[in-house]
Structure 1
Amino acid sequence: MTTRTKRSIAHFATPFSLRGLDGIQPAGDYDIDEDEEMIEGLSWLAYQRVATFIHIPARNSNQRKMQLVAIDYAELATALKKDEETINEHPPAL
């Protein structure tokens, strides 16, 4: 089966938590990897997500120890939406 990994960055403006992570994570930019497999038997090229991973700690952290943790994509999307709503409700003071 043909697989590929899509890489992206998740920006959290506020601390967050996800199942599988130890405690609350600080705000920051986190690298996200999504593993996808090609769907066989179609007349067009299509992939389905089979795993999602987050790199801990955030990109701007001074920690040297890095972890790659499997997470639920839907939970990540929900956490990002909640983060955005929190910022929209309480914009930073100028």
Structure 2
Amino acid sequence: MTTRSRRETVTFRHPFRIKGIDRLLPPGAYEVITDEEMIEGLSFASFRRVATMIMVPAASPRGSTMEMISISPVDLADAQRIDADAPHE
């Protein structure tokens, strides 16, 4: 089965939370990786999402390492909407 990964950077202007991550994350740019697999048997290339992960700073005391955490794309969109709706400082 053919798979591909898409990477994008999302930026949060305020501290934020995403369901599945048990801590408040600081504002900043975050890499989001989406894995997709090709749907076989079609006469055109079509892919379906099979996983979405976000790279976040590791929880203390691990220091400056990063963690890749699986998240729901809906939860990511909710966090982005809340961040965009937050009042500017």
| TM category, shorter | 0.7 to 0.9
TM-score, scaled relative to structure 1: 0.83
Moved >6 Å (runs of 4+):
none
Cα deviation, residue 91, structure 1: 2.6
Alignment RMSD, CA only? 1.5
1:74 paired residue number:
74
> Does 2:50 correspond to 1:50?
yes
| 1:75 shift after superposition | 0.6
**Alpha-carbon distance, 1:19 to partner:** 2.1
Write the distance in 1 (CA, Å) between the matches of 2:88 and 2:54: 26
Question: 1:25-82, CA deviations, whole angstroms, 9 ceiling, x for partnerless residues?
Answer: 011100000000001111111111110000012xxxxx52111100011110111011
Separation in structure 2 between the aligned mates of residue 45 and residue 77 of structure 1, nearest angstrom: 26
Q: Which residue of 2 aligns with 1:8?
A: 8
**Number of matched residues?**
85
Query: Between the two proteins, what is the percent identity of the paired residues?
Result: 40
CA distance in 2, matches of 1:68, 1:91: 29
* Unmatched segments (≥5 aa) in structure 1: 58-62
Q: 5+ unaligned residues in a row in structure 2: which ranges?
A: 58-62
